[in-house]
Amino acid sequence: MKHFVPAALILLLALVTGCSLLHHKDRKNRQPELPPSAGIEAEFRDRWMNKRVHELLAAGTAATEDQAKQMAAAEFAKQYPYLIPGNPGARH
């Protein structure tokens, strides 16, 4: 009985540490996670752009949809300079 308890504890310790060593995710291939605010900013930009493009086309300010998108993008950049569309989640 004297040798059973330490042997059982050593076996239990080996099993617990072995499981944690064998179970790991591949961290090299994972993409870095963006903050939740990046998704919200992108959704806001998309909704704002769609609304503004339709407004420009309805008012006759822009002749084509591409021209309206360019005008809306310029207005968005001027009105919301703190939102960077090319690099979501990054700030200056």
**Residue of 89, 77, 91, 3 lying closest to 41 (CA atoms):** 89
Q: What is the pTM of this model?
A: 0.57
Distance CA 52, CA 68 (A): 8
Residue 92: pLDDT band (50, 70, 90) is very low
Tell which phi-psi region holds residue 89, choosing left (phi > 0), alpha (psi between -120 and 50) or beta.
left
Residue 29 is which amino acid? Answer: N
The Cα 36–Cα 56 span in angstroms is: 31
pLDDT tens-digit map of 16-65: 776 555 656 666 677 778 788 888 999 999 999 999 999 999 999 999 99
What residue segments make up the domains of the chain, in order of their start? 36-84
